[in-house]
């Protein structure tokens, strides 16, 4: 596999489109100069390209090894973690009082893209550690923060998220893990968790598990769930490791992909833990972690799509197959390269236009998180925009990126299907992303069932208003007119669909469920269209400066001509309603089959 960090693309989105340097005007970001960001990007690129990428295929081939409750990972994974520890890169996004550098989320999402592109299995564990850090920072006591956070920031200790049980996945109200308060104020936890990414490994001295559990006499359902910090080793007040806690891995899963990342079954056998946040308010604390994780999972998609695109492009440029339909493009060669063929170009241009749009959308979400945290008049508006965009980024970016990875494998033909070129690993690794952190169907229900009707569409207005303002300001721009007009139609179509679902859903919740996935895709493509308008506006202003901007115009034109029209078919599908979807009796799905329970 080959990979180069797309630094020029990063600069374009961060600096030219999203104006990240404006953040330096606010307290906490004064040192985040563009020169500093460039220096860090160069450092990340060197580690990702030279150390993380070579470790990726090794992790797939060797995988995590489980023996007698212990999990070992390949030596190359240790080298990769040590590389970011030794350079201090793990400290970038943490708070300064705990040893971090306080870099903005807008930059973090691109770091996630790079690490996921080069070793997704390993990046999932570092990403979960960042999420656990945020949760403890926001909801943990001062004593817990002082003890645990500096060691998470340094990379000495990793974190996990322990939600799922064998009988409950999305429906956390069914969970059975129990917690009983001890005399010293800590808690005793008993139960079993499954699908715990990084639940056991040898990369760090300690692993900090954030565990959802029930207190005695707690309310039923999700209102009776509390959150606890359960360390693998119980540390002393000075951070030195004490006795092994009564939490252990029973096994690791045999998986389709991400084989270098151990997915564990975890048993808590009266393990000692400490309450995070208020009793019976564990979901609120956990979701402070999960929302960032959903953005990070979206970037898993963008990262894998980017490396798949780079390799698909390289193969299309190099592989000689057939002749251009108009005649030999390179008559001096025995055949033309794949890239002369329209269908190959279709897959490459679709990938390129979607990747650049998704990256921009994720950075916009990240910078909105940053703006929501620095106060001021726009704090609430940015926070609500993030709430709206989070399920879109998670679901849209992972669904589209799975499609891109499959297309790039298709560019390789049969060579993509075998292990030699590494393309099939990308397809396998990424397939978990639409499932992780709430399946994409759940993200769609969150968008259509919760975000759409909330406060009479208040969250939707956080997107519609700036998009409509852009249309008004630029509808007479001769350069942008060919793009603004289809976007305006697409935006009106999205508004109509939103109204249709809101009205129909009041009388029949099945209408929301039946249209949710199509609605998220329609909304997501319109959001990508808005990102492309902003990118095109910059590109037109600078197209005489370098070819980079001319290529942007071509890519954006492809998006609006060949990709954006999908918004129409999604709207048509939604308008069909739930009647046909719900008409089939449960037994009708089985037909002649005889399944238990049918």
**What H or E segment, with its residue span, contains residue 45?**
helix 34-47
Q: Which residues contact 334 (CB under 8 A, 6 or more apart)?
A: 320
Dihedral sign, CA of 126, 132, 134, 137? Answer: negative
Whole-angstrom distance, CA of residue 363 vs CA of residue 527: 13
| DSSP symbol at 97 | G
Identify the three-state secondary structure at position 430.
helix
Burial 412-432 (b: 16+ CB within 10 A, else e): beeebeeeebbbbbbbbbbbb
The catalytically annotated residue of 300, 306, 387, 437 is 437
**Which residue stretches of 374-413 are H helix?**
379-412
CB 159 within 8 A of CB 210: yes
Nearest to 581 by CA among 517, 524, 513, 520: 513
- Work out the number of other CB atoms within 10 angstroms of the CB of residue 132: 26
Identify the three-state secondary structure at position 179.
strand
* Beta-strand pair 157-162/206-213: parallel
Catalytic, 437? Answer yes
Whole-angstrom distance, CA of residue 431 vs CA of residue 405: 10
Please list the residues that pair with 197 across neighbouring strands. Answer: 263
| DSSP symbol at 14 | I
CB 345 within 8 A of CB 352: no
**CA 375 to centroid of chain Cα atoms:** 25
Q: What is the DSSP string of 538-562?
A: HHHHHTTT-HHHHHHHHHHHHIIII
Nearest to 208 by CA among 168, 267, 252, 149: 149
**What H or E segment, with its residue span, contains residue 527?**
helix 509-542
Nearest to 401 by CA among 255, 297, 487: 297
Catalytic positions, please?
437
């Amino acid at each position: 596999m080959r990979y180069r960090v797309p630094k020029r693309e990063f600069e374009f989105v961060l600096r030219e489109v999203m104006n990240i340097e404006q953040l330096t005007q606010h307290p906490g970001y004064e040192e985040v100069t563009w020169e500093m960001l460039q220096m860090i990007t160069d450092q990340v690129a060197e580690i990702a390209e030279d150390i993380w990428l070579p470790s990726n295929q090794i992790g797939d081939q060797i995988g995590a090894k489980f023996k007698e409750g212990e999990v070992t990972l390949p030596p190359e994974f240790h080298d990769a973690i040590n590389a970011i520890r030794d350079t201090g890169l793990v400290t970038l996004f943490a708070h300064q009082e705990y040893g971090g550098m306080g870099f903005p989320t807008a930059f973090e999402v691109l770091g996630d893209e790079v690490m996921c592109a080069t070793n997704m299995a390993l990046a999932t564990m570092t990403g979960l550690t960042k999420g656990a850090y945020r949760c403890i920072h926001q909801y943990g006591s001062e004593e817990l923060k002082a003890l645990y956070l500096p060691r998470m920031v340094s990379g000495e200790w990793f974190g996990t998220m322990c939600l799922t049980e064998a009988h409950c996945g999305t429906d956390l109200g069914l969970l059975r893990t129990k917690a009983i308060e001890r005399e010293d104020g800590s808690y005793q936890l008993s139960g079993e968790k499954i699908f715990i990414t990084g639940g056991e490994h040898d990369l760090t001295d300690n692993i900090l598990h954030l565990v959802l559990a029930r207190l005695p006499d707690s309310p039923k359902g999700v209102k009776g769930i509390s959150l606890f910090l359960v360390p693998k080793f119980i540390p002393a007040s000075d951070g030195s490791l004490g006795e092994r806690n009564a939490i252990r891995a029973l096994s690791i899963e045999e998986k389709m992909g991400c084989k270098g990342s151990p997915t564990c079954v975890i048993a808590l056998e009266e393990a000692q833990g400490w309450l995070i946040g208020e009793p019976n308010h564990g979901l609120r604390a956990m979701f402070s972690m999960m929302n960032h994780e959903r953005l990070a999972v979206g970037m898993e998609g963008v990262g894998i799509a980017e490396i798949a695109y780079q390799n698909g492009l390289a193969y299309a440029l190099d592989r000689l197959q057939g002749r251009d339909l108009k005649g030999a493009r390179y008559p001096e060669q025995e055949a033309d390269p794949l890239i002369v063929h329209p269908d190959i170009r279709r897959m490459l241009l679709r990938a390129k236009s979607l990747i650049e749009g998704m990256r921009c959308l994720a950075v916009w979400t990240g910078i909105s998180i940053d703006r929501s945290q620095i106060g001021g008049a726009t704090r609430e508006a940015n926070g609500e925009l993030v709430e709206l965009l989070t399920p879109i980024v998670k679901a849209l970016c992972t669904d589209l990126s799975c499609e891109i990875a499959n297309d790039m494998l298709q560019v390789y033909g049969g060579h993509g299907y075998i292990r030699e070129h590494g393309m099939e690993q990308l397809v396998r690794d990424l397939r978990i992303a639409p499932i992780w952190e709430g399946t994409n169907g759940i993200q769609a229900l969150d968008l259509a069932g919760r975000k759409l009707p909330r406060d009479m569409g208040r969250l939707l207005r956080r997107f519609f208003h700036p998009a409509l303002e852009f249309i008004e300001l630029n509808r007479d721009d001769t350069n942008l007119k060919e793009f603004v007009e289809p976007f305006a139609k697409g935006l009106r179509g999205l508004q109509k669909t939103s109204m249709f679902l809101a009205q129909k859903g009041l009388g029949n919740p099945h209408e929301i469920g039946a249209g949710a996935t199509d609605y998220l895709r329609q909304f997501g493509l319109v959001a990508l269209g808005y990102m492309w308008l902003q990118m095109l506006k910059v590109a037109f202003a600078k197209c005489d400066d370098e070819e980079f901007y001319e290529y942007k115009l071509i890519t954006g034109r492809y998006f609006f001509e060949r990709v954006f029209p999908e918004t129409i078919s999604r709207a048509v599908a939604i308008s069909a309603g739930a009647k046909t979807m719900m008409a089939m009796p449960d037994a009708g799905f089985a037909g002649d089959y005889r399944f238990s329970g049918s």
